[in-house]
Amino acid sequence: MIDDRRTVFKTLGAAGLALGAWGGGALRTLASLGLYSGASVAWAQTTAWPLANRSSAFQAQTPGDALQQILGDAPVVEVGEQLIQLQVPELAENGAMVSVSVNSLIPDTRQIMLLIDKNPFPLVASFHFPDGTEPGFQTRVKMAESSRVRVLVQAMQGKDKRYYTTVKETRVTLGGCGN
């Protein structure tokens, strides 16, 4: 029985290596024929990911700069817990691992962005939600110090983008960003 299992694992391992080698060779062959290029990959990234062409928002060092990069001149409506459910601890004992949970009840939510005001780079996450998916996520983030945690939701109203936000304060006893 054990020998049979070993044979199966060896065969599967060899098949996996062969497929990996073939896949890498296939991409090189396509590239040499001009059927695969970095330009097509760059085009796919900028059209598929809403913030791909706004990577400077992730590089912004203040929340105002990050919001300016994301929003431009678009107005933001502050809403409460009934529309954007933000769960963060009031007191986080370790800033290196703070649990965050967000759910949007706003119809046609397309994107949820998470900002932590006093982090070195305030925009810490951006999630895109295609049609028909439930807009929400759970994650863990690093927080440098006690700060406001802000959620920015982008929703579609017809063909127009609308932005909504909610904010909560979280106290951190031990910082996690470079401390």
Q: How far is CA 97 from CA 69, 76, 133, 175, in A?
A: 27, 29, 27, 9
Are 105 and 141 contained in the same domain?
Answer: yes
Are 27 and 114 contained in the same domain?
Answer: no
pLDDT tens string 51-98: 454 578 888 999 999 999 899 889 999 998 899 999 999 999 988 999
Are 107 and 164 contained in the same domain?
Answer: yes
Are 91 and 58 contained in the same domain?
Answer: yes
Are 107 and 155 contained in the same domain?
Answer: yes
What local confidence, expressed as pLDDT, does residue 43 receive?
35
pLDDT > 70? residue 174 = yes
Give the total number of structural domains in the chain.
2
Compute the chain's Rg from CA coordinates: 22
Are 8 and 68 contained in the same domain?
Answer: no
Are 7 and 73 contained in the same domain?
Answer: no
Are 27 and 86 contained in the same domain?
Answer: no
pLDDT > 50? residue 14 = yes
β-bridge pairing 160-172 and 91-92: parallel
pLDDT tens string 137-146: 999 999 989 9
Determine the structural domain holding residue 89 and report its residue range.
51-172
Are 68 and 111 contained in the same domain?
Answer: yes
Are 73 and 154 contained in the same domain?
Answer: yes
What local confidence, expressed as pLDDT, does residue 12 receive?
66
Q: What is the mean pLDDT of residues 13-40?
A: 50
Are 7 and 82 contained in the same domain?
Answer: no
CA-closest candidate to residue 94, choices 173, 178, 179: 173
pTM (global) more than 0.75? no
